[in-house]
Structure 1
């Protein structure tokens, strides 16, 4: 007998250890991870099943008598049946039905030995009716219990349907629906059956956000993430979240849960916030930007110090590197497996949509930068908050260090680099005063331009990375000082030129088609009002020839940026233009003149600007083309009509009156007879209207929002005076010759 007592003690100790292992204490989790590693769930389940089998076999072996063993086996079989049912309600209800039928069917409520006088029952007059009612109620209660238990057994069917229609996946979806059923049942019981409170899955997920249970927190953020991805319900969930300050604050605060036990909650809170970001104004939840910024932290990144400034111990490396999707995947499954309810065992035969594995895009820094990208595109006030976080911009730029990507050759580093470039492109494209502040802060980072140059110079890198880099350089080049600083790093311009001029434009992919266009835009911005940059670009072999071909191919993706670039080269690098370059300009002129007749708006402004510079650089050839092509009258009328039609130009083509007047001046300077034609077309009256209605916006080349950039050195009024002077001189000459 002693040996069986020892066996039971061992069994008890094992069960206690298994129970303690399920407690979510950090010390216990660390101990299990250190001893069992990723196989801890398997070994716990395996040991538990062995203990169950031992507890079933041991009572049979203890009893020496064979007949007693049969009794124990029968009792264990009955107990097993009860366990399979999941509760004691079915046998209890069966007993109720059996007892009621035993009394109702014989209908004998009197003692067999007692004589009954049915005419004089005395105090037993209503006994039969009362007992019929009583046993009828017992029978009905038992039947209702049995019916309820049967429905409970088959409740997995609507649950599976809800899992599929809700878009849930894997075992966590099963556990979430089970918790929802239990929660709904509890609320129904509290409110009464006749007037139940409507409880939706969305309401359940929102209520669970504020739960103190780690399991409820995990399931709530996972459910919200699924809902926010499904279009029919997405708008309703966003409306509910944005109007509930408490729930929104709770979700945002989860982004700052850095404890290892909260990794899964933090991950899915970040994924849910990505879906919400385009509808979120961060001023409604104080501290949002600081919490989003915390997602970009890489604790395991060892900083290299300066031996002249640092002492030992100043930079201690931490153990948690960039958030590992494989680790998160394992932790998420561990968190889900330990909550799978036993009532789902029957329903496991029904298929459940498989849970999608985490990808490199689910890295916390990548999610954080995606949130920032959407917040910046949502509202300019969000950009103000981004600018206020002191270390946020340096964190973003830190991920553009492509040398680390090349060295590690890791997909995660590429994803992070791409995410950071997307955010930087977004932030540098913001208009208004806040855009000026953001571009200044970004451009002053000491390693930004170097990192962008490395990405452009790596031929093996993703084409989308190069496109994003070109977009960032284009946006930063709006500022004069930054444009000059980029030009001093000549490798950026030469690599942009190679990307733009030598790329295959027949590619079918969208990225490959957009890359040369964005690179061309960046070059056009860098060339404006910058002699040095224009000279660097002109050194590229056959530069003017390739730009001419882009204007002639009738592809609007490249025509206007190429025209702007060629215009800047004529304006700022005229002395360096070779005979071959001048011939290319001459070949371009006819196409430019024809296009001027057909386009409007900003495109027309660019083409007239190029045409005026060609007229200035090669005036003789310009006159020959204008006279020989028999389009002089039509071209000059087009200029005057466009000037009259743009007496109040918008921000998208604020300089159109300026380029028309410049074109007129260069034409009259190279051929004084053109002044007579302009006088016939009432150019003088149009110039007087320009003089009467000057606009401050016409002093700038480009606008982002309401802020103008690249101010012209010559006022518009000075150009008007010069044009009037040339026309007046011709009039005086005409009068003199007539006299």
Structure 2
């Protein structure tokens, strides 16, 4: 259950006043930061909400959009091919017009049979080539398209695999027919141009025939150059494979790249040759998402998923997706698809959205889409009953859980999104339910804990609402109890931090206390020896949670005091460099909020007075603050005689203590964010000392206490009015205001004088 076995040593260090029959675990401080306060941002001190930092180095690097992306090679290649094709088509059209209007129209009477035959053959084969060319591109695209009915010309006659073979055969046959036509055209044109035997044609007729044969020859040669250039770049230079490799699309990446190229080429041929430059792979993939067929949708999703996982292209890709509301709506819509065979579509869409939500500028855009939270919550289906007998479905369900939780974790970084998560019907219950998954799904449990932690750490009214709603889920505390009890140290850390944040809510605080074993578990962890910074951190988190549970809760104070030897152990660790801060907090709250009928059990705490008074004189910062606060509460359960004996045991003169208290007020002439209650505790201690012994009034007067009280009154802040803080928001206000305490102390000094 715990991260180390408890070790004990007998005997007491010199000057230790704790009972000799209590054995305190040995704890090894690891670093100087651990000895101060390993609880990080303590809820007993405010901390400002972190501002939006500058982009990380990785994000800055990914923001450098490359001017030449790999698909530009394809668009440039398609542009070159389109220029050649349009040139050949233009020459062919001109040759056809010249033959029909000039040669046959003006010189047909003197045209020899040989030239008439050659002219007819050339026109026929060029017509065949143009017809074949117009259909070849469509047949070439068929293997690049997924198995969708929209591209199955023989869907009723051939099986799924057969139509691809047929399309490849037909496209190659058409290509061969074009090559044969071009070669024939070159041969016939050259024969007539070399022979120059045009019979009875005059000079103008010969020129007309030469021009026709020249146009036909030029058209055929340009087409052959185009085909050669195509073959060299596609088959020899392997352009498509290289682009797929640059994008890291994997073994199946050649299919979308080939289709993208044909789309660009078709656009360049049918429209302006420059239109292809406007196309890019991201937009192409986005368009595929709107297809009616799953295969095409999956092709687009796979491309986008590869691009968002590629550091070189992730920024530009996410920027284009994030700027398209329709694309984000489509991705979110896909999360709801649950038909057989659509699991990969959901996984891909969830992966893309997780990357999209990880960018600050897109966090609000994702959550702002209508129905986004409900769609995302569909990823959190536990599947612990229906999919138990299907390992594949169980794996898919686990991956969807992880992605859904990751998206919510990233969305929770925004305050407004936390509110949306909390108000989405059934969503919090689903997240909490995943914290109770089996240990085989520890990744799911850990990530669900991370999401819950971010939600309960939210500030302001949103945080208050979330803590209330999460604590109302009946499985919350019991699930976390099992995690803290059986999980590894990382799981323990998350679980205890959640309990600590929930303890800020009055209702949740009582629920935690009422749940069996939680307080005992936290005490066991708090007193467990730690041999690393991480273990010490977990111990202190448990201690701070106990302090919060005892704060203003008589029931929880009773529950803590019922544990055997708990007071002796707390007194024993007041000298522990790691635990003494939170041990002092726990003891202070026990002394302050235990019911009157149970105060008898606190009488033994008086033995800690010498240790606490020594800390008041010697320590600084947080430890000084909690020591003064504890000393004040200890004084309230003792009398002046016991206080004087404690001073004597600690070897401290009363005048030294008074001087120290006055020096604290001088040092903290303004409220300090790190120790917000130190001036309050000092004034409370001074009030008790002056009320219990009139001679103390003179000592405080000697060191200028009256003037310092006036200064405190002028600098009082709301910062000093709260027990705990949620970020920069104060919670649990002190019943006595600082103004009241200052006025009380001032009145005592005036009456004493």
The TM-score with structure 2 as length reference comes to 0.68
Matched ranges for 1:192-211 at <5 A: 192-194=272-274, 196-211=276-291
CA gap of 1:562–1:224, structure 2 versus 1, over 3 A, is: farther
Q: What residue is the counterpart of 2:628 in the other structure?
A: 608
Please state how far the C-alpha of 1:495 moved relative to its aligned partner: 0.8
User: Tell me, what secondary structure is at the counterpart of 2:387?
Assistant: coil
In structure 2, what is the Cα distance between the partners aligned to 1:729 and 1:498? 49
Aligned to 2:376: 292
- Helix, strand or coil at the partner of 1:142: helix
Q: Please report how far the alpha carbon of residue 507 of structure 1 lies from its aligned counterpart in structure 2 after TM superposition.
A: 4.1
CA separation of 1:244 and 1:250: change in aligned 2, threshold 3 A = same
For the structure 1 residues 202 and 608, does the alpha-carbon distance in structure 2 shift closer, same or farther, using more than 3 Å as the test?
farther
- Post-superposition shift, 1:438? 1.6
Deviation, 1:493, is 0.3
Q: Report how far residue 603 of structure 1 moved.
A: 6.2
Distance 2:176 2:273 in 1: 22
Residues 632-662 of structure 1 deviation map (CA, whole Å, 9 limit, x = unaligned): 476234322145222xx65x65434322211
Tell whether 2:409 aligns with 1:373: yes
Native 8 Å contact 2:267 2:275 kept in 1: no
Deviation at 1:248, TM superposition (A): 1.7
Contact kept in structure 2, 1:202 and 1:237, CA below 8 Å: yes
1:712 aligns with 2:734: yes
Deviations 1:515-558 (A, max 9, x none): 32322221121121234433443455664565567654544xx5
Shift of 1:246: 1.6
Structure 1 segment 352-391 matched on structure 2, within 5 A: 362=399, 364-378=400-414, 380-391=415-426
- Look up the SS of the partner of 2:469 in the other structure: helix
Look up the match of 1:561.
582
Corresponding residue number in structure 2 for 1:485:
511
> What is the Cα deviation at residue 285 of structure 1?
0.9
| Cα distance between partner residues in 1 of 2:624 and 2:269 | 73
Pairing 1:576–2:601 present: yes
1:398 corresponds to 2:411: no
* 1:452 paired residue number: 480
Aligned CA distance change for structure 1 residues 610 and 257 (closer, same or farther; 3 Å): same
Would you say how many aligned residue pairs link Structure 1 and Structure 2? 587
User: How far is the alpha carbon of 1:263 from its aligned partner?
Assistant: 2.1
Note if contact 1:551-1:562 (Cα within 8 Å) is conserved in structure 2: yes
Match of 1:165 among 246, 260, 285: 246
Distance (Å, rounded) in 2 between the aligned partners of 1:237 and 1:147: 31
Cα contact 1:548–1:585 (8 A) shared by 2: no
Instruction: Give the 3-state SS of the residue equivalent to 2:723 in structure 1.
Output: strand
Q: Secondary structure at the match of 2:736?
A: coil
User: For residues 480-629 of structure 1, what are the structure 2 equivalents within 5 Å?
Assistant: 480-502=506-528, 504-507=529-532, 510=534, 512=535, 514-538=537-561, 540=563, 543=566, 547=570, 552-555=575-578, 558-572=579-593, 575-577=600-602, 579=604, 582-584=606-608, 586-596=610-620, 599=621, 605-616=625-636, 619-620=643-644, 622-624=646-648, 625=650, 627=652
Task: Please say if residues 393 and 442 of structure 1, whose CA atoms lie closer than 8 Å, have aligned partners that are also in contact.
Answer: yes
Could you tell me how far 1:273 is from its partner in structure 2?
1.8
Distance change (3 Å), C-alpha of 1:634 and 1:236 = farther
Task: Give 1:464's aligned residue.
Answer: 490
Mapped partners of 2:702, 2:239: distance in 1: 85
**Would you say 1:143 and 2:225 are equivalent positions?**
yes
Distance 1:159 1:507 in 2: 54
Give the deviation of 1:492 after TM superposition.
0.5
Alignment of 1:100 onto 2:182: no
Cα distance, 1:169 vs structure 2: 3.3
Structure 2 contact 244–254 (Cα < 8 Å) conserved: yes
Compared CA separation, residues 139 and 446, structure 1 to 2 (3 A): closer
Segment drifting more, 435-444 vs 653-662? 653-662
1:638 and 2:663 correspond: yes
CA contact (8 A) 1:534 1:572 kept: yes
Is residue 456–residue 498 contact of structure 2 (8 Å, CA) maintained in 1?
A: yes
Deviations 1:216-249 (A, max 9, x none): 3223333333333444443433333333222222
Show the counterpart of 1:182.
262
Q: d(CA) in 2 for partners of 1:490 and 1:722?
A: 43
Cα drift, residue 204 of structure 1:
2.4
How large is the RMSD of aligned CA atoms in angstroms? 3.9
User: CA distance change for structure 1 residues 108 and 23 in 2, over 3 Å: closer, same or farther?
Assistant: closer
- Residues in 2 aligned to 1:540 and 1:161: alpha-carbon distance in whole angstroms: 70
CA contact (8 A) 2:615 2:627 kept: no
Q: Which of 212, 215, 232 is matched with 2:292 structurally? A: 212
Q: Sort the Cα spacing of 1:272 and 1:258 in 2 relative to 1 into closer, same or farther, 3 A.
A: same
Q: Take 1:86 and 1:612, find their aligned partners in 2: how far apart are those partners?
A: 94
Cα distance in 1 between the residues matched to 2:309 and 2:241 = 20
Contact preservation (8 Å) 1:375, 1:382: yes
Q: In structure 2, what is the Cα distance between the partners aligned to 1:690 and 1:227?
A: 60
Q: Residues 148 and 605 of structure 1: is their aligned pair in 2 closer, same or farther, counting only changes over 3 Å?
A: same
Pair 1:189–1:327, CA change in 2 (3 A): farther
Counterpart in the other structure of 2:444: 416
User: Using a 3 Å threshold, how does the CA distance of structure 1 residues 121 and 390 change in structure 2: closer, same or farther?
Assistant: closer
Partners of 2:443 and 2:349 lie apart in 1 by 20
Cα distance change on mapping 1:240 and 1:150 into 2, 3 Å = closer
Q: 1:476 and 2:498 equivalent?
A: no
Q: Which residue of 1 is the match for residue 92 of structure 2?
A: none
SS in 2 for 1:212: coil
Pairing of 1:240-255 with structure 2 (within 5 A): 240-255=320-335
Q: Does 1:275 align with 2:355?
A: yes
3-state DSSP of counterpart to 2:194: coil
Deviations 1:681-731 (A, max 9, x none): 432233234445655554421222565322323333332233223323432
User: What is the deviation of 1:254?
Assistant: 1.7
Check the 8 A contact 2:334/2:349 in 1, yes or no.
yes
Unaligned runs of 5+ in 2: 1-145, 151-158
User: Take 1:181 and 1:424, find their aligned partners in 2: how far apart are those partners?
Assistant: 46
In structure 2, relative to structure 1, the CA distance for the partners of 1:83 and 1:552 (3 Å cut) is farther
Distance 1:181 1:547, change over 3 A: farther
